[in-house]
Chains A and B, each alone.
Chain A
Amino acid sequence: DIQMTQSPSSLSASIGDRVTITCRASQSINNHLNWYQQKSRKAPKLLVSAASNLEDGVPSRFSGGGSGTHFTLTINSLQPEDFATYYCQQSSVSPRTFGPGTKLEIK
């Protein structure tokens, strides 16, 4: 199975900051990588698919990048509604494993 790791596991930042979350796969997944946002243990929301494609309605301050085994999710100019937990997920092969999550908190 492909293992996914994320760093950092938690992050404190201020409104207006730029933050980057990193996700790594244990083997190449090309760009079969998705990012999800989860607030207060509600249903997750898909933000980015295929590593860099923003879903409709997701603010342009979010961006995804990377390929192979190394991926990033960047949020420019943090807004209050962005404080949440973010998960990456590989969709290259089943089981379609998630990363452990990165909790983004207000400083």
Chain B
Amino acid sequence: EVKLVESGGGLVQPGGSLRVSCEVSGFPFRSYWMSWVRQAPGQGLEWVANINKDGSETYYVDSAKGRFTISRDNAQNSLFLQMSSLRVEDTAVYYCARDRAKMYCNGTSCSSLYYSLDVWGEGTTVTVSS
């Protein structure tokens, strides 16, 4: 069974730091890009960051640049998000998701790779408050 389980959420003061983790099972972790997505209370989904298969490429939403670091340990099947200089507006449920790359073929021709978040964890709640 494919499974993603986040942990590490909690209450932290503004300006503080927190690391959330995502433990993966049921698929070859090292073969997939991975993403973090968050959802503030009563708000929509916000893509936060993603990382390539070997951890050598990372991308961030502007609000996370310089404060958040996404990383992975392929030996431990784990994804991480280190968050520092936390702000009240970082309060959210943080989801990890598998970033699937898929090619669509029609007869003899195939498309380029298309990315989508096809498996999600249940999320971990981060609350930034004094």
B68 within 8 Å of A by Cβ?
no
Residues of B within 8 A of A98 (CB): 37, 44-47
Residues of A within 8 A of B44 (CB): 85, 87, 98-101
Q: Does the CB pair A95–B45 fall under 8 Å?
A: no
Tell which of A1, A43, A89, A91 touches B95, judged by Cβ atoms closer than 8 Å.
A43
Tell which of A46, A94, A99, A101 touches B116, judged by Cβ atoms closer than 8 Å.
A46
Q: Does the CB pair B59–A91 fall under 8 Å?
A: no
Residues of B within 8 A of A7 (CB): none
The SS class assigned to the B binding surface is strand
Chain B contact-residue range equals: 20 to 34
The SS class assigned to the A binding surface is loop
Interface residues of A (CB under 8 A from B): 1, 31-32, 34, 36, 38, 41-46, 49-50, 53, 55, 85, 87, 89, 91, 94-101
Interface residues of B (CB under 8 A from A): 35, 37, 39, 44-47, 50, 59-62, 93, 95, 100, 102, 104, 111, 114-118, 120-123
